[in-house]
Structure 1
Amino acid sequence: MATTNHISTKWLGNMAFESSNPSGHNLTIDIAKEDGGDGSGFRPKALMLSSLAGCSGLDIASLIKKMKLDVDDFHIETIANLTDEHPRYYDKVTIEYHFHGKNLAEKKLQRAVDLSIETYCGVMEMFRKFAELKIETVFHHS
């Protein structure tokens, strides 16, 4: 049977909404004050980038544990270009994977990144349908 996610999103007034998540946590969505909102929550398109980084990051964190790799710090920078015309969407997205540590196993870490972007990350696959993706891996040896 197919897996289905059901999200309930409730208007809170003005331009704010509260959206449920199957995890049991809720999040607030809003727009900037200059756009008529209160700036009290996450912006919808930016949330998509967080979802992309989070999905891929979870894959990689899991692989770091499985491969018993020595990584002091790991972060993902996601830089997206919005189209000028409405409806505005991300047409180009750069995803930078940054690994920090003394004993970085670069080949294994790159393999973890590749497995995420090519095999495991469903959000990455969704982004491929509408955006040109550029992937960069950066190793910071301390």
Structure 2
Amino acid sequence: MNTIEIVRTMADFGFDAKDEAGHVIKMDTSDDSGGKNYGARPMQTLLMGLGGCSGIDVVSIMKKQRQELTHFKMIIKGQREADKIPALWEKIHIIFELGGNNLDESKAKQAITLSIDKYCSVAETLRRAGAAITWELRM
């Protein structure tokens, strides 16, 4: 079982989340909810987790395809449910920006599809919570 430790370290709502290896993510609430801009909001860290999970998948798959990436960037945009508490992620769109020497676009699309639809546990978790995840590739 994985263990995460959460400690309040800043004002009312500033928290440090630490994993078993000692990696820390700082979290806070929004300014209008009393936050102090200490860290990312918890719901945004879900989108960050999606990016990390899918990014690892895509790079790994493309390495196996013998595709040499020299540029990798993801832009993730999310829309939450309106007028609901809790407000879950409803729509998530990911833009993959990939560059490299002689990249095969069909292989890049295959890698992204495999990640989003099959391998990325964060994507599946968000999908099961009702989020629609779409993506596009820019090369």
The TM-score, its normalising length taken from structure 1, stands at: 0.87
The residue that corresponds to 2:61 in the other structure is 63
Percent identity over the alignment? 30
Q: After the TM superposition, which segments of 4 or more aligned residues of structure 1 sit over 4 Å from their partners? A: none
1:98 aligns with 2:97: yes
Q: Secondary structure at the match of 1:97?
A: strand
The code of the aligned residue for 1:49 comes to L
**Structure 2: any 5+ residue segments left out of the alignment?**
none
Q: Which of residues 49, 54, 79 is equivalent to 1:51?
A: 49
Secondary structure, counterpart of 1:94 in structure 2: strand
Determine whether 1:11 maps to 2:8.
yes
Give the TM-score, by structure 2 length: 0.89
Which amino acid is the alignment partner of residue 74 of structure 2? I
Residues 26-45 of structure 1: matches in 2 within 5 Å?
Answer: 26-45=24-43
Paired residues in the alignment total 136
Aligned to 2:116: 117
C-alpha distance in structure 2 between counterparts of 1:41 and 1:24, whole Å? 17
My pick for the range that moved more, 117-126 or 4-13, is 4-13
Partner Cα distance (1:89, 1:44) in 2: 12
1:28-63 CA-partner distances (Å, limit 9, x unpaired): 111233321111111101110000011000011112
* Amino acid of the structure 2 residue aligned with 1:75: K
Instruction: Mark the runs of 5 or more structure 1 residues left unpaired by the alignment.
Output: none
The Cα shift of 1:102 comes to 4.6
1:75 aligns with 2:45: no
Contact 1:70 1:105 in 2 (8 A): no
Structure-2 separation of matches of 1:32 and 1:41: 9
Deviations 1:99-118, CA, capped at 9 Å, x for gaps = 12352211111111111112
